[in-house]
Structure 1
Amino acid sequence: MPSLRSRALSVALIAAGRRRRFVSAEAVRTRVAESARRPASHLPPRSLGRIAEVSRTFVGAWPVYDVSPRGAEPAARVLFVHGGGYVGELVRQHWSLIRTLVTRAGARVVVPAYVLAPRGTADRTVPVAADLLSGLIAGGGAGGAVLIGDSAGAGLALAAAQRLRDRTGAQPSRIVLISPWLDVSMSHPDQAAIEADDPMLARPGLREAGRLYAGNLSADDPRVSPLRGSFAGLAPLTVFTGTRDLLTTDSRELLRRARADGVEVEFHEEQGLPHGYPLLPVPEGRAARDRIVELIRRAAAEA
C-alpha cells in the first residue's frame, strides 16, 4: 500500500496534467519545437555551489558538469544520466538527487547535459556516453565507479554500458536504473492496462519521442532500445520501478532477461508508485534514495 503522501502526489500529478506532455505525438512535436525556439536551462541551482564544488567542461557539444564534495576528497565516482524522454533537460528533481549523492554518499558526480532529440540521436549519443563512462572508470581516484540513470537516461546509461562491454569489457561497480525506459517501441501487451492508471506517461507521445531519438536506426536497435541487447557481462544491476508506471514492463523484462544472462539484479517494484518515484518527495522516494546512497558507499568501500 503506497503512503498517504504518495497517493496525494499521484492525484496532484493528474490534476496538474503531467500526462499532457506525452498524450500525443503532436504534443511531443510541439514541445520539441518550443524547446528549439527557447531552450530550457540545464544549469545547476546556485544553492548547489554553496555545498559542493561545481565545474563545467565540454565533451564535443555536450556540457558536462562535475559536482564534488566541498573541501573533501570524493569517496566514490558516479556518472548520472538524466531522464526526460530524450527531449527534456535536467530539472530540479535531478539536481536534488545529485545533491544527495554528493552530500550523503560523498560522491563526485559527473552529469552530462547530452544533446536532446531530434539533434541528439542514439547513434551519436551512446558512443559519447560510453566514452564518459570509460573515462570515469579508468580515471582512478578513491572508491568505485557507479552508473546511475533515470527514465530515458537509464536507457542511455544501459546502452552505454553495453557498448563499453563490447568495446573493452570494462564495467562500473554497479548500474542503478530508476524507472528505466528500455524499449522505445512501447509494444509490450501489458502497457495498455497500466497506462490507464499512470498519472505521468502515455504511449503515443513516448513512441514519438522514441522515434525522434532513434533517428535513422530501428527501434529494435540495442543502441535505441537496450532491452533488445545482451546483458551478459554487465555489472550488477539495481532497478527501481512502480506499478503505476507505464514503463514498469521494461523493468520486469530486464529482470527476466538479465538473470537469464547470469547478471545479478536487485529489483525494487513498489505497489501504487508512479514513474520516477525515487526522485519524488515521498517516503518511498526517500527509502530508494537511502538505498542508492548505501550502494555508492558500498562501492567505495569495496573498490
Structure 2
Amino acid sequence: MPSLRSRALSAALIAAGRRRRFASVEAVRTRVAESARRPASHLPPRSLGRIADISRTFVGAWPVYEVSPRGSEPAARVLYVHGGSYIGELERPHWALIRTLVTQARARVVVPAYILAPRGTADRTVPVAADLLSGLIASGGEGGTVLIGDSAGAGLALAAAQRLRDRSGAQPSRIVLISPWLDVSMSHPDQAGIEADDPMLARPGLREAGRLYAGTLAADDPRVSPLHGAFEGLAPLTVFTGTRDVLVTDSRELVRRARAAGAEVEFHEEAGLPHVYPLLPLPEGRAARERIVGLIRSAACER
C-alpha cells in the first residue's frame, strides 16, 4: 500500500490540475509557444553551489553542467538526462536528485541541458547524447559510469545507449531508468484504463509532445521510441515505475523485451505511486534514491 504522504501528494496534484498540462494537443502547443517566447531557466539552484563544485561547458549548442563533490575525488561518473516530455527544462526536483547523487554517492554528475522540441528532435539529439556518454565512459579514472534518466530523459538515455552499442559496443556500468517514456505513440491498450488514475499525465498532450520530438522520424523509430530498439548487448538495467503512471506500460514492456533478449533487468514497480516517484519527497522516493546511490557506489568499485 502506498504511504499516506504518497496518497496525499497524488490528491494534491489532482486538485492542482497538474494533468491539464497534457490534457490536449492545444495545451501542449500553448506551453511550447510560451516557452519559445519566454524560455525557462535551466540554471542550477544557488544552494547547490554551496555544497558542490559546478562548471559549465558547451557541446555544440548544448550547455552541459558538471557537478562534483567538494573537497574530495568523485567515486564514480554519472550522466543524468532530465525529463520534461522533451519540451520542459531542468526543474528543482531534477537538481534535488543531482544533489543526492553528488553528496551521498560522491559522484561526478554530468547534466546536459539538451535542446528542447520542436527545435531539438530525436535525429539530432540522440547522437549528441551518445557522444556525451561515450566520452564519459572513455574518461576513466574514478570507477565506473552510470547512465540515469527520468521520464523523457530515460527514453533519450536508452536511445543513446542503444546507439553507442551499435556504434562501438561500449556501455556504461549500469543504466537506471526512472518512469521511462519509451514509446511516444502512447498506443498501448492498457493505457486508457491507467490514465484515469494518473494525477500527472494524459495521453493527448504526450502524443503531441512526442510528435514534436520525432520531427521527420516515425514514432516507432528507435531513436524516438527506444522500446522498438534492440536490447542485446546493453548494460544491466534498473527500472523504477509506479502503477498510477500511464507510462507504466512502457516499463513493463521494456522488462519483457529486455529479459527475452537476455539483458539483466532489476525492476521496481510500486503500487499506487505516481510518475517519477523517485524524484518526489515521499518515503518510497527516498528508498528508491537510496537504491540508486547504492548502484553508483557499486559502480565506483569498478576499476
TM-score (norm. length: structure 1): 1.00
Matched residue, 2:166: 166
Matched residue, 1:239: 239
Matched residue, 2:67: 67
CA distance in 1, matches of 2:298, 2:93: 24
Shift of 1:302: 2.9
Letter in 1 for 2:59: V
Matched residue, 1:136: 136
State the Cα deviation string for residues 126-165 of structure 1 (Å, max 9, x = none): 0000000000000112110000000000000000000000
Partner SS, residue 105 of structure 1: coil
Shift of 1:298: 0.4
Q: Give unpaired runs (5+ residues) of structure 1.
A: none
Matched residue, 1:2: 2
Shift of 1:106: 0.2
CA distance in 2, matches of 1:179, 1:249: 10
Matched residue, 1:78: 78
User: Equivalent residues in 2 for 1:100-115 (5 A)?
Assistant: 100-115=100-115
CA distance in 2, matches of 1:293, 1:198: 27
CA distance in 1, matches of 2:45, 2:141: 26
CA distance in 1, matches of 2:15, 2:104: 33
CA distance in 1, matches of 2:187, 2:54: 41
Partner SS, residue 267 of structure 1: strand
Letter in 2 for 1:34: E
Partner SS, residue 77 of structure 2: strand
Letter in 2 for 1:256: R
Shift of 1:115: 0.1
Q: Give unpaired runs (5+ residues) of structure 2.
A: none
User: Equivalent residues in 2 for 1:7-22 (5 A)?
Assistant: 7-22=7-22
User: Equivalent residues in 2 for 1:128-277 (5 A)?
Assistant: 128-277=128-277
CA distance in 2, matches of 1:78, 1:159: 17
Letter in 1 for 2:220: D
CA distance in 2, matches of 1:13, 1:265: 31
CA distance in 2, matches of 1:78, 1:287: 19
Letter in 2 for 1:143: G
CA distance in 1, matches of 2:6, 2:189: 27
**Aligned pairs, how many?**
303
CA distance in 2, matches of 1:2, 1:178: 18
Shift of 1:71: 1.2
Moved over 6 A (4+): none
